Amino acid sequence: MKIRLFAAARDAFGWAEATVVPQERDTLLTLLQAYADDALDPAEARRVLARCTLLANGSRVPDPATAAAHSLGDVLVDVLPPLSGG
C-alpha cells in the first residue's frame, strides 16, 4: 500500500509519501493514526487527519474506521485535507 499525504496533512505528518504493509488487524484509520502518533506534533497530525478525505485508487473511502487496510491490497491511498477556494 502506498500512502500519499497532501498539503496540511503532509505538513502535520512531516512526510509526503510512504509504502507500508498493513497488519491484518489494521483498519485504514488505525494505520494512519499510528503514523500520526509518530509525527513531530502528534496532536496536530491527528487533528488534521480527522478532517481529511481518504481516497483508495481514486475512490472515496466512506468509513476508514471499518475499512480493513490489509484487504485493500496494492492500493494507492491519498490523504486529502479540506481545501478552500472558489
| Chain segment 14-73, per-residue pLDDT in tens | 999 999 999 999 999 999 999 999 998 999 999 999 999 999 999 999 999 999 998 888
At residue 85 the predicted structure's pLDDT band, cuts being 50, 70 and 90, is low
> Do the Cβ atoms of 72 and 1 come closer than 8 Å?
yes
